Amino acid sequence: MIRDCKKQVGSLSLLKVLILVLSLLGLSAHGALWTITYPRPIDDTDERTQYPIALLKLALDKTGVNYELLPSDRILLTGKAMRQLRENREVSVVWSMTDIQREKDLTAIRIPIAKGLIGLRVFAIQDQKSAKFAQVESIADMRELVPIQGEDWPDTKILQASGFNVFTVPEFDRAYDFLSQGKGDFFPRSVIEITPELDKLGKSASVSLEPSLAIYYPTAMYYFVSNNNKTLAHLIETGLQRAIEDGSFDTLFQSTYMPILDEINMDERTIFTIENPLLPNDTPLSNEALWYKTAAEK
């Protein structure tokens, strides 16, 4: 009996110590200054990076953690940034479209930061080819046209799996050059990407937005962190969940993207849906609150 009591007292003491240590760790996480580094874009004024940064700040603010959010010392495109993140170098968080391999290599915070709009694709085309696109009535018609994509982009494999003959380029900047030269028929870009890209390109390139078509495949853009940084993953996920619950996530999303969707006349477009064989099984497709619905789905 006495021995059992001593064991219980010892267990209680150990439990108290454990609780104290965890409490101190929690205070440390909130009291210490966390430096969180993201990939520096080619252009610091790039509109495509402004929303992910704003949402990340919103999420971190919701946790109460003391942090500073800084760009990397040098410009890092997505592929390089993902490799550096995997090796715990230069950056501590990257946002990118997901696929099975990326979720093996890194820890994904499985909350689609743009509500799946990364998979809603409209087309940059040569002005002289607009009549060809006006004749498209089916996905079979679309497959007769050649899309341009990056060599290592998940989108390339998705389009190829759906029967498209994809013209690949080694880096993003070359895609619009090749499009202007007629190397492909169209450059599918997410609705959250294409407007600032075409604005920057200007009218002199004779490239414009195709007005009536779109392709959709289910996918998500997530925040990714190193597999060794579970604490940061937990912080970001907690902050995003709180932002969803209090409505601030939707407020930021709508103020950022609804004007763009209206500008490109999204609700009036014919949307062809294709499968995504690279979509991880853990993608939270059943949680409707996390995804944008087109007019046809509402």
Ordered domains of the chain (ranges, CATH): 32-115+220-265 (3.40.190.10), 118-216 (3.40.190.10)
User: How far apart are the C-alpha atoms of 287 and 290, rounded to whole Å?
Assistant: 6
Tell me the pLDDT tens digit for each residue of 33-54. 999 999 999 887 787 899 999 9
**Tell me, what's the pLDDT at 42?**
86
Enclosing H/E stretch for 168: strand 167-169
- In this predicted structure, the answer to whether residue 10 has a pLDDT above a threshold of 90 is no
| Three-state SS annotation for 107-130 | EEECCCCCCCHHHEEEEEEEHHHH
Question: In angstroms, how far is the first alpha carbon of the chain from the final one?
Answer: 67
Measured CA distances, 54 to 47, 134, 213 (Å): 11, 38, 30
**Tell me, what's the pLDDT at 172?**
86
- In this predicted structure, the answer to whether residue 66 has a pLDDT above a threshold of 60 is yes
**Tell me, what's the pLDDT at 46?**
80
pLDDT bin (cut points 50, 70, 90) of residue 298 is low
Q: Are 219 and 98 in contact (CB under 8 A)?
A: yes
Tell me the pLDDT tens digit for each residue of 224-277. 999 999 999 999 999 999 999 999 999 999 999 999 999 999 999 999 999 999
Q: Out of 38-47, 144-153, 176-185, which region has the weakest mean confidence (pLDDT)? A: 38-47
**Tell me, what's the pLDDT at 23?**
43
SS3 content of the chain, % helix, strand, coil (to 5): 50, 20, 30
Tokens of 210: 């195709």
Question: Which residues is 94 bridged to in the sheet?
Answer: 224
**Angle at CA of residue 139, ends 165 and 187, nearest 5°:** 50
Q: Residue 41 contacts by C-beta under 8 Å, 6 or more apart in sequence?
A: 48, 49, 71, 75
- In this predicted structure, the answer to whether residue 63 has a pLDDT above a threshold of 70 is yes
**Tell me, what's the pLDDT at 204?**
63
Tell me the residue length of the chain. 298
Report the chain's mean pLDDT, rounded to a whole number: 89
pLDDT bin (cut points 50, 70, 90) of residue 12 is very low
pLDDT bin (cut points 50, 70, 90) of residue 297 is low
- In this predicted structure, the answer to whether residue 145 has a pLDDT above a threshold of 60 is yes
pLDDT bin (cut points 50, 70, 90) of residue 206 is confident
Q: Where are the alpha helices (DSSP H) in 149-188?
A: 154-161, 172-180
Enclosing H/E stretch for 201: helix 194-201
Tell me the pLDDT tens digit for each residue of 73-113. 999 988 899 999 999 999 999 999 999 999 999 999 999 99
**Tell me, what's the pLDDT at 30?**
58
- In this predicted structure, the answer to whether residue 13 has a pLDDT above a threshold of 80 is no
Enclosing H/E stretch for 216: strand 213-216
Compute φ and ψ for 10, nearest 5 degrees. Answer: -65, -40
- In this predicted structure, the answer to whether residue 15 has a pLDDT above a threshold of 80 is no
